[in-house]
Amino acid sequence: MTQKVNITPDKDGFLKDLSSLIAVKSTKDASAAKEGAPFGPGPLEALNQVLALAKKDGFRTKNLLGYAGYIEYGPEDADDYIAVLGHVDVVPATGNWTHDPFEAHVENGTLYARGAIDDKGPTMAAYYALKSLKASGLPIKHRIRLIVGTDEESGCECLIKYNELEPMSLFGFSPDAEFPLIFAEKGRIYARIDTPEKGGTAPVQLAEFYSGERVNMVPDRAYAVLSGTEAEKWADQTQKLLKENKISFSAEKEGEGVKLTVKGRSAHGSEPAGGINAAFLLASALKEVPFNPSEKAFIALLADTLNNDFDGERLGVAFQDDISGKLTVNAGLSRFDSSKGGSVSLDMRCPIKADLSQTFKALTTSIEKLGFTIGESDTSKPLYMDPKHPGVQILKKVYEEHMGLKDVELMTSGGGTYAQYLDAGVAFGACMPDYPYTGHQVDEHVRVDDLLLASKIYADVMYELGNLEK
């Protein structure tokens, strides 16, 4: 690899463009979905902003029905293209942020914002890499296509639609994880556990329970509304338990009842042990309340069966392999309504060698023994890419050259990226190995210089992949 792009991205221009993109509140809003904006106005606005920027800079662009879009460089008549897959949708900015999560705040070289590392920052780094490659004038034989998705955080319907509309790439990578390189990603099972609708009467009722905004986040907030003649009595008892356990909470009147709100700590759903699930905290404090059988069963599901069972032991689904480690379980969404019953939605990350159908069968058996049922569900296959693939070797070598390293150890991950939607591809950066990955967390952040370094790495990778031999 003698030829290098060797162009340093314009830091001021990069921060200006990234700050503008961060300001778009691009969380999915299914209630506002319409033709041309399948995930609501925010994700579409973010997509259009990036495409407009690229068009102004002289790139070929295309909006694919509002699901995704792409920015392309290289010989227009080339048969093949290299895919670089980023996304501009973000998870909700829950919790107490130090600064406005949708206003880029740079302090001591660190950028704080929702999307800083997941994935607006890395996507902009990839775009600036494409600009650098274009400015270098170095010849490439394949097209380079930066694909911009808008539904990565909620099901990846954007990439499903993209693959329906566009041909598959020769090879690709997603700048939506960590360096040096992730060649294997766990499979996923999404399953909603439904609890019984009715369970008799009691002097205190669980009128409502609510926790979580996305199944792939550890919920940092949960609330329950107690009603009935003994609501205040049991609300007081619950508050005593919360105080004894030094759990942050608040209490207020809610109609004729009492609303209790508990705080936890958010984390990415692929690493549930890294957060504090607020639903578990609140349910554990409510265990002794004499609810009716249906309500008690819902509380017990959270407080006893799922509470910190991150490996799935109590669910009978625990499994690990030598490639990607242990299965993980995140109880991301918990809902209960006294007139409708309840549900808990699980995000399970399954090791590469796990049999997804057998795992789902085991989960179903365990849930039915508890008297519950599995409602809505879905599975995603794991990703495994041969580390010896020529494309993988290019990424590894370019990264090593930029970092002054040799024989770096490639990684596996519980997180799922767009790479799973490629015939050949991996996740590649942009979080540096000496820095914590803060996606989905309060005060999400990344070092600005890390994004700029990632952009230089991506530029060289784009050049090398642009000349990849079939």
CA 68, CA 103: separation in Å to the nearest integer?
A: 24
Burial class (CB in 10 A: 0-12, 13-18, 19+), 376: exposed
Catalytic residue among 17, 72, 89, 464: 89
Asked if 89 is an active-site residue, the reply is yes
146 near 71, Cβ under 8 Å? yes
User: 72 an active-site residue?
Assistant: no
Q: Which of 17, 72, 151, 152 is catalytic?
A: 152
> What is the SS3 assignment for the chain?
CCCCCCCCCCHHHHHHHHHHHHCCCCCCCHHHCECCECCCHHHHHHHHHHHHHHHHCCCEEEEECCCEEEEEECCCCCCCEEEEEEECCCCCCCCCCCCCCCCCEEECCEEECCCCCCCHHHHHHHHHHHHHHHHHCCCCCCEEEEEEECCHHHCCHHHHHHHHHCCCCCEEEECCEECCCEEEECEEEEEEEECCCCCCCCCCEEEEEEECCCCCECCCEEEEEEECCCHHHHHHHHHHHHHHCCCCEEEEEECCEEEEEEECECCECCCHHHCECHHHHHHHHCCCCCCCHHHHHHHHHHHHHHCCCCCCCCCCCCCEECCCEECEEEEEEEEEECCCEEEEEEEEEECCCCCHHHHHHHHHHHHHHCCCEEEEEEEECCEECCCCCHHHHHHHHHHHHHHCCCCCCCEEECCCCHHHHCCCEEECCEECCCCCCCCCCCCCEEEHHHHHHHHHHHHHHHHHHCCCCC
48, two tokens? 């259009």
Residues annotated as catalytic (active site), given as ranges: 89, 152
